[in-house]
Amino acid sequence: MSDSEIEERINPNILITGTPGTGKTTLSRLVAESTDLAYINVGDLVKERGLHQGFDQEFQSYILDDDKVVDELEDALSKGGNIVDFHSCEVFPERWFDLVLVLRTDNTLLYDRLENRGYSQKKITENIDCEIFQVILEEAKESYPLEIVVELPSNSWQDMESNASRIREWVKNWKERKNGR
């Protein structure tokens, strides 16, 4: 896609990413309810539409088919106006997003959330390590321009509320800047 096509987007695309359990789905839904952004849960789409190359028993997760994922989302993302929820971000083209948010949660809180979900010890450890080593934050910084990557704390409901209002404000400003109103 050329730069001129990107400029035609009149609504922004936001990616909400982070380690499993950091609150991506809760926050994305909250924002989608109070803006005109459409909510896309990529993990659900991968399962429902078979955008994978099978299930990895060892890691207990689907092996993503990157091309299928990008093809599936291309039309919606080219148009703009989406809030995309996924625990990884390197698969998506850089040109899709105007803002990339990486949710962060303290280890002990994240541990409890994952345990409450009934995750195996192996899966909990894997995800806690992912959070400690800032894997998703580094991935985001490598995949997108640094100025659009923002880390947001997601430890409490107060954080959730303030993140939602920050995003709503950002969307409003983006539209005003873009559309001159």
Does 25 interact with Mg ion (rule: CB under 5 A)? yes
81 is in an annotated binding site: no
- State both tokens at 51: 């955008």
Task: Check whether 43 is labelled as a binding-site residue.
Answer: no
Q: Give the type of residue at 169.
A: E
- Asked if 26 is part of the footprint of Mg ion (rule: CB under 5 A), the reply reads no
Find, among 73, 75, 21, 79, the residue nearest to 51 by Cα.
73
DSSP assignment of 75-133 equals HHHHH--EEEE-S--TTS-GGG-SEEEEEE--HHHHHHHHHHTT--HHHHHHHHHHHHT
Spatial neighbors of 41 by CB under 8 A, at least 6 apart, are 25, 28, 85, 86
Task: Build a one-symbol-per-residue string for 52-71: x at contacts with ligand ATP by CB under 6 A, - elsewhere.
Answer: --------------------
Map the footprint of ligand ATP across residues 105-134, applying CB under 6 A: 113
User: Is 105 annotated to bind ligand?
Assistant: no
The reply to whether 23 sits in an annotated binding site is yes
CA pair distance 163, 92, nearest whole angstrom: 23
**Interaction of residue 78 with ligand ATP, rule CB under 6 A:** no
- Residue nearest ligand ATP, CB atom distance: 23
Smaller CB separation from ligand ATP, 49 or 177: 49
Among 140, 154, 167, 171, binds ligand ATP (CB under 6 A): 154
Q: What residues make contact with Mg ion under the rule CB under 5 A?
A: 25
Point out the annotated binding site.
Answer: 21, 23-26, 117
Point out the annotated binding site for ATP.
Answer: 21, 23-26, 117
Q: What residues make contact with ligand ATP under the rule CB under 6 A?
A: 18, 20-26, 87, 113, 154-157, 159-160
